């Protein structure tokens, strides 16, 4: 996220402040302290639990969401920084009630095991395909290198992303 004048932080707090967040196309009014992370705002304030808390330090990628289409670790964003921006979470990926082709590909190619990293993997992959619609395997590996998977579903993930890319192109 480029730091520009229009995004310069205003002085806010201490104590709770009013905040409007646009998530998956809907605007929500929150009342939170400035220290509230975007991740906690999503999970605790808005009940959107599809985005997972794993490390809280930006080491694992499980909390990946989109801010204005860019993949971002939501545990490293303050909710107050996100006012006026379009946030997309895993819950916002369905298109007309149907799974996004990437979600579908993850199921078909068994790109998951326990599923806990899956939201973050998919959000990172969607952003990758926006940026590089015809990725090579190296592109996929580079684009997802910020998402850990302890179960080791990585090979399925690569298969799924490449398959989805092909499907989206056709």
Partner 1 sequence: MLVPKLFKTKVEIEGRILEQYALVEGDELPPWDADEELGIVGYPTARVDGAERVSGDARYTADVRLPGMVYTAFVTCPHPHANILRLDVGAARGLPGVLGILTRQEVAAQVKDGSASELGGVVALRYGDELRYAGEIVAVVAANDPDVAEDAATLIAVEYEVLPHVTALEAAVKPDAPLIHPSGNIFNGAPLVTERGDCVAGFAAADVVVEQTYRTAGQSHSCLEPHGSIAYWEGDTLTLYESTQHVFGVRNIIADWLDLPQSQVRAICQYIGGGFGSKAEPDVTTLYAALLARQIRRPVQVVYTRRIEQIAGGHRSAAVMTIKLGAKRDGTLTAVEIHGLTDLGAYGAWLPDLDLPALLLYRCPNARAETTGVYTNTGTFAAFRAPGFVEGTFAIESAMDELAAALGMDPLALRRKNIPDHHQLSSKAFSNYPIEVCYAQGAQRIGWKDRAKKATVPSSAVLGSSPQRFRRGIGMANQIWGGGGGPPAYATVELNSDGTVTLRTGTQDIGTGTKTILTQVCAEELGLPLAAVRTLLGDTGAAPYAPISGGSMTVASMAPAVRAAARNARQQLLDVAAQLFDTTADTLEIHGGVIYQAAAPLASVRELMQKLGDAMISGTGSRGPNPDDARIVTSGAQFAEVEVDTLTGRVRVLRVVAAHDCGRIMNPLTFRSQIEGGIIQGIGYALTERRVIDHRLGQPLNANLGDYQLPTIADVPEIDVLRIDIPDLVANPTGAKGAGEPPIIPTAAAIANAVADAIGVRIRELPITPEKVLTALRSGTGTGRQEQ
Q: Residues interacting with partner 1, by CB under 8 A?
A: 33, 35-36, 40, 43-44, 47-57, 59-60, 62, 89-91, 93-94, 99, 103, 106-108, 110, 112-119, 122, 140-142, 144-145, 147-158
The residue among 70 and 113 lying less far from partner 1, judged by its C-beta, is 113
Least spacing, CB of residue 95 vs partner 1, in Å: 12
* Alpha-carbon separation of residue 163 from 10, 18, 87, 107 (angstroms): 44, 43, 26, 12
Q: Which residue, 2 or 26, is less far from partner 1 as judged by CB?
A: 26
Nearest approach in angstroms of CB 133 to partner 1 is: 20
Contact predicate 112/73, CB 8 Å: no
DSSP for 88-118, please give it.
E-GGG--BTTBPPHHHHHHHHTT--SS-TTH
Interstrand relation of 17-23 and 86-88 (parallel, antiparallel or unpaired): parallel
Shortest distance, position 72 Cβ to partner 1, whole Å: 17
The total of other beta-carbon atoms located within 10 Å of residue 150's CB is 11
Least separation in angstroms between residue 120's CB and partner 1 is 9
CB nearer partner 1, residue 7 or residue 155: 155
Identify which of residues 7 and 94 has a Cβ nearer to partner 1 in the complex: 94
């Amino acid at each position: 996220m480029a730091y520009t004048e229009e995004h310069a932080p205003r002085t806010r707090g201490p104590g709770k402040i009013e905040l409007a967040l646009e998530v998956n196309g809907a605007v929500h009014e929150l009342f939170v302290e400035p220290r509230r992370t975007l991740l906690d705002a999503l999970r605790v304030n808005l009940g959107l639990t599809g985005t997972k808390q794993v490390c809280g330090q930006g080491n694992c990628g499980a909390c990946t969401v989109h801010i204005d289409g860019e993949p971002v670790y939501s545990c490293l964003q303050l909710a107050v920084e996100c006012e006026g921006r379009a946030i997309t979470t895993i819950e916002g990926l369905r298109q007309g009630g149907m799974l996004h082709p990437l979600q579908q590909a993850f199921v078909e190619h068994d790109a998951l095991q326990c599923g806990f990293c899956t939201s973050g993997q998919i959000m990172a992959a969607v952003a990758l395909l926006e940026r590089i619609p015809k990725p090579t395997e190296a592109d996929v590996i580079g684009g997802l290198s910020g998402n850990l998977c302890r179960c080791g579903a990585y090979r399925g993930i690569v298969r799924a992303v490449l398959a989805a890319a092909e499907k989206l192109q056709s």
